[in-house]
Amino acid sequence: MKPLLLLALAAVIALPAFAQSQARQAQVSRCGPDGRDLRDSPCPGGAAASSSAISYDEPSAADSRAARERHLADAKQAAALAASRRASEAEARHQRALSLGLQPPPAAASAPQVVHVKPPRVAKPVKPHRPRAAASAAR
């Protein structure tokens, strides 16, 4: 029983090591007058350039997925906290109005009403009617 437990424990401990980021390398060419233009392809015009390998870490798919899920959970929590804050502020305004002896505004009027007013339609001038015979003769 103990060897099986130790084997399971070792697997659980070693599992995150496999899901870590992978070290990769990319070939980079330095172009331009001072070598400040970094490119992943040879320099245009066949100009002489120093080429070197750069190491970088690329997160695994599991790490990317976990980060995305963490971001979505944080966003949901932030939205819930903002809604809670707005509700508590509205309740505080309501309690303040009651303590001052003011009549609280109706619930429908608590939000400012937006009224969109269309400009009046302008009547188009009536064109004089030309008879068809006169129109065809004029051409």
Per-residue pLDDT of the chain (139 residues; tens, 9 = 90+): 566 555 565 655 555 555 566 677 777 888 877 777 888 888 877 666 667 777 778 888 899 999 999 999 999 999 999 999 999 999 998 888 888 876 655 555 555 566 667 777 788 888 887 777 655 555 5
pLDDT at position 25: 77
- What backbone torsions phi and psi does residue 52 show, to the nearest 5 degrees? -145, 165
With helix as H, strand as E and coil as C, how does 1-48 read?
CHHHHHHHHHHHHHHHHHCCCEEEEEEEEEECCCCCEEECCCCHHHCC
- pTM confidence score: 0.38
Using DSSP, state whether 50 is helix, strand or coil: strand
pLDDT value of position 65: 93
CA 36, CA 38: separation in Å to the nearest integer?
6
| In the chain, where the domains are located | 24-58, 60-103
The first and second tokens of residue 116, run together, are: 């969109």
Distance (Å, rounded) from C-alpha 45 to C-alpha 47? 5
